[in-house]
Amino acid sequence: MTRLRWAYLLRFFAGCCLIANGVYLGVGSFEGVGDAGDLLRYGAPGWQLIAFGLICVPLGLACWHRFGPQFGLGEAMGLVDRRAAVGSLVLLIVVLAVEILADGR
C-alpha cells in the first residue's frame, strides 16, 4: 500500500472534527443547548455525552500530534507543500461555492 503524501491533511481534518464535536456535545450537555439539548430531551443520558467529549477531544489532539513540520513549524522553518496549500484553497473555494449555490434564499 502506498502512503499518500497528503494523508496528514485528512488526519488534520479528522482531528478537527473530533475536537469540535467532542467539545460541542460534551460542554453542551451541561447547559442542555444545541444538539446536546435535543439528545437530552429525547432521553440520552448526560453522562454519555460527557463521556463522548472526554473521549473525542484527546483523540482529536492525538491526531494532530507531531504535525508541526507539515504545517511549516519547527524544523520546517515556514516551508509548506505548495500543492497541499493550493489544493486546500481550491477545496475551500469549491465548498463555499456549493454552499452558496445550495442556499435557497
Same domain, 55 and 84: no
Which residues form the domain of 59?
Answer: 1-67
Same domain, 12 and 46: yes
pTM: 0.79
Q: ∠ at Cα 32 (49, 61), nearest 5°?
A: 40
The count of other CB atoms within 10 Å of the CB of residue 52 is: 19
Distance CA 23, CA 47 (A): 14
Same domain, 62 and 84: no
Any idea which residue has 442542555 for its cell? 32
Same domain, 35 and 81: no
Q: From first to last of the 105 residues of the chain, give the pLDDT tens digit.
A: 557 777 888 999 999 999 999 999 999 999 999 999 999 999 999 999 999 999 999 999 999 998 888 888 888 788 888 888 898 999 999 999 999 999 877
Same domain, 48 and 82: no
Same domain, 83 and 96: yes
